[in-house]
């Protein structure tokens, strides 16, 4: 996959070696999957397993199918290709987090997911997400 940032998302490697993807507008589900795949390509070239995904400009809920793809297919594949779990920090509004909590059947389980393939947390501030990375994982 080519490492060109699409117009709907910005990618950045942070000074700690961690990766950031930021939605520039609300994203369609195919665009969400493209952002994930682009993050993986960047992670494979940098060795980073800490990914910050800022979706504050994309407050929409996504389908159960997309969520299942993320948890059941994409994250296990990413962890296998990286040979380590992915640390995934989402930055979103408090309202967005509340909507995720209410979502069935995922609910609270995705908000604090500790999967074999990933450690996932949701934050309202980027600084809190970066502090979590510092506590959880050494820099690459």
pLDDT of residue 6: 65
Task: Give pTM, 2 decimals.
Answer: 0.82
The domain ranges of the chain are 9-136
Instruction: Give residues with Cβ within 8 angstroms of 2, minimum separation 6.
Output: none
Q: 66 vs 107, which has greater pLDDT? A: 66
Q: What is the DSSP string of 23-76?
A: ESS---HHHHHHHHHHHHHHHHHHT--EEEEE-TT------HHHHHIIIIIIHH
Q: Tell me the average pLDDT of the chain.
A: 82
Percent of the chain with pLDDT over 90: 33
d(CA 38, CA 43) in angstroms, rounded, equals: 9
Model confidence over 71-106: pLDDT tens digits?
888 999 999 999 998 999 999 988 888 877 776 555
Architecture of domain 9-136: 2-Layer Sandwich (3.30)
d(CA 130, CA 113) in angstroms, rounded, equals: 17
pLDDT band at residue 115 using 50, 70 and 90 as cut-offs: low
């Amino acid at each position: 996959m080519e490492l060109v940032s699409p117009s709907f998302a910005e990618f950045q490697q942070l000074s700690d070696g961690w990766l950031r993807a930021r939605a520039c507008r609300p994203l369609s589900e195919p665009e969400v999957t493209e952002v994930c795949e682009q993050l993986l390509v960047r992670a494979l070239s940098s060795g980073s397993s800490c990914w910050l995904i800022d979706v504050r400009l994309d407050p929409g809920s996504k389908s159960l199918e997309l969520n299942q793809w993320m948890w059941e297919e994409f994250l296990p594949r990413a962890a296998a290709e990286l040979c380590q779990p992915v640390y995934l920090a989402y930055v979103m509004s408090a309202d967005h987090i509340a909507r995720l909590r209410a979502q069935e059947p995922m609910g609270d389980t995705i908000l604090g997911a500790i999967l074999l393939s990933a450690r996932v947390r949701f934050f309202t501030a980027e600084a809190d997400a970066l502090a979590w990375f510092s506590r959880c994982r050494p820099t690459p």
